[in-house]
Structure 1
Amino acid sequence: MLRDVSKWERVGYGRKSTLEKEELISPEKIHYLIKYPRQFKEGVSWEDITELIAAEIGAIFGLEMMSVEIVTRNGRRGCLLRNFVKEYDAKMTEEGGVLLSALVDDYKELQESSLKDMELIDAGFKIMKKFVYWETIKSEFIDMQLFDILIGNQDRHPFNWQLLFLETGAKFSPIYDNGASLGFRFEDEKLIQMVSNPQEMNKYTEKFHEQFLLSTRA
């Protein structure tokens, strides 16, 4: 039986996001976010379930993942995420998109370019190497990209990772926002079809390549 967090105090609605969010405080005064899966006219969405599964997979590989639990709130199922900013007592946070925007000329030019596939990835990493915190985050950042390939993440972009600024210095955030992965919109029949067709699987898992930079063009 899923834990019911209906009585937890709501203190906000979270930042702008594709998924509906609420900011909650538990009776133990621990800060959390709860995200609800989207409802579609056709098909299904398992974004809360895949968020949990992705977190478990990442932990198996030794990656630092956001803590995830499936719960219910007022009759709705969602994924409960422990607020790592509060957990680390970060003095300040910045999303990657905000930080990279400081590289105004290069970053804007890349966003507006027509590059695709490996040319886009190569140009993206050349930009990252100019980033002042690159040496600090390089290992975790590349691990995140490899993890996204593994789970077929469709939604990794510069606003889906952060730097936490602690008293001891800058730290790469735990990996979060992994719900749009692992065939999150596929019924069982479609999943079987996908795993039986290597070309379809490759097409799906490689889709994330351009998400890192292109999603900010919208």
Structure 2
Amino acid sequence: MVEVIDVTDWIGDEHHAIFPVGARDKEMLWSPETRVEDLKPNWPYLFKESIYRYQDQYWTELVAYIVSKYLAVDVPKVFPAIKQTEDGIVCGSLIEWFYDVDSERFVHAGSYFKRIIPDFDDKTGKQHNFSDMNIFIRGLAIQAGLVTERVEWLADMALFDSLIGNTDRHQENWGVVFQSDEKSRLSPLFDNGTSLGHERFLDKVKDWDDNRLKAYVMRGCHHLRVNRENTKQRIKHFELVDGISAANKDIQKYMQQKLDTLDLEGMLAEIEDLTKIDIDVPFTQERFDWIKRNIVMRLELLKEEVKK
């Protein structure tokens, strides 16, 4: 059973106390020096609250992390957490920081897009596109000792974001970790809360049949565009998967093997266990049922897409 972490007495990071990027309130905290099970001692963690309108949204970060484990995709570890304030207890997701702040350096992808596209709009990210993404990742492999297998990373991103229905993989939600002057790696896929149908109120979708759910799923788009000229049209999730798998037979086999060997039953059981956690804003059985329907539908569609 996942334990709820109480971060009330954790020390805030004086340099990165509040993060302005994104819609949800978040703050950097340091774990205690004494070892706590499953937590790194004296390590930065991001405490992230839900958007006010969607009180249980913070659970999507943890569900997405569970999905990533079964899909074998690199995503930072996540825990449910609480913080006691003057106004009462605040619930949130606690996300393990993905690089060593003392020895490594992280650069958001947006910084590279601004170099490639002089008039890049970092507020809307409308020029965030797959074509230029490939250009600068290839450049990292040549000039910055990229240790990540870049094509597999792209395949993992497309599969993962499509399976959870993530619409917010914008230029600030991925980037490059410089391990030294000669080596770098692409970041884990972090900030996964805008996914899994979190924006749907359960009383509005409880009577949806499979056709209506499929139509909803098929409308979902990734944040990426195809190229910098096509700023209005995001790539649909399954079109992104199709484009990557169709371009490389080896990667198609890589993606197909991941989908075919995914333990759906085990993954759903681990997600459903979250409903047993005692916390002020719980993960309800109704929310699990909605997420389950989404994941099962998406997995079926992904398998069909990759086998084309």
Q: TM (normalized to structure 2)?
A: 0.57
**In structure 1, what is the Cα distance between the partners aligned to 2:22 and 2:52?**
15
Q: Does 1:23 align with 2:28?
A: yes
CA distance in 2, matches of 1:147, 1:163: 19
Deviation at 1:90, TM superposition (A): 4.8
**Are 1:53 and 2:63 counterparts?**
yes
Native 8 Å contact 2:19 2:26 kept in 1? yes
CA distance in 2, matches of 1:139, 1:30: 29
Aligned pair 1:153/2:153, yes or no?
Answer: no
- Corresponding position of 1:3: 5
**Conservation of the 8 A alpha-carbon contact between 1:55 and 1:67:** yes
Matched, 1:85 2:122: no
Alignment of 1:1-218 (within 5 A): 2-11=4-13, 12-28=17-33, 29-40=42-53, 44-74=54-84, 75-86=89-100, 90-104=103-117, 124-131=129-136, 132-133=139-140, 136=146, 137-167=150-180, 169-194=183-208, 196=210, 197=212, 198-203=214-219, 206-208=220-222, 211-213=223-225
Distance in structure 2 (CA, Å) of the matches to 1:45 and 1:195 = 25
Call closer, same or farther: CA 1:172–1:98 in 2, change over 3 Å: same
- Aligned to 1:98, the other structure's residue is in SS state helix
- For structure 1, the 5+ residue unaligned runs are 114-119
Q: Which has the higher contact order (CA 8 A, sep 6+)?
A: 1
SS in 2 for 1:159: coil
Q: Quick one: distance in 2 between partners of 1:112 and 1:70?
A: 33
Deviations 1:169-196 (A, max 9, x none): 1101111111010011223333434563
- Work out whether residues 106 and 127 of structure 1, in 8 Å CA contact, stay in contact via their aligned partners in 2: no
Deviates more, 1:129-138 or 1:178-187: 129-138
Alpha-carbon distance in structure 1 between the residues aligned to 2:140 and 2:179: 14
> Does the Cα contact within 8 Å between 2:28 and 2:46 map onto a contact in 1?
yes
Equivalent position SS for 1:133:
helix
Give structure 2 stretches of 5+ with no counterpart: 34-41, 226-230, 233-308
Of 174-183 and 24-33, more deviation after overlay is shown by 24-33
Maintained 8 Å contact 1:52/1:70: yes
Structure 1 residue matching 2:162: 3-state secondary structure: helix
Contact 1:45 1:185 in 2 (8 A): no
Structure whose alpha-carbon radius of gyration is higher: 2
Q: 1:191 to 1:45 in 2, by over 3 A?
A: farther
Residue 96 of structure 1 and its aligned partner are, at CA, apart by: 0.8
Name the SS for the 1:157 alignment partner. coil
What letter corresponds to residue 61 of structure 2 in structure 1?
A: E
Deviation, structure 1 residue 16: 2.8
Q: Deviations over 1:60-95 (max 9, x none)?
A: 1111111100110011000001111227x5532111
Quote the Cα distance in structure 2 between the aligned partners of 1:52 and 1:195: 27
Distance verdict in 2 for CA 1:129–1:5, change over 3 Å: closer
Percent identity among equivalent residues?
Answer: 26
Give RMSD over aligned pairs: 2.7
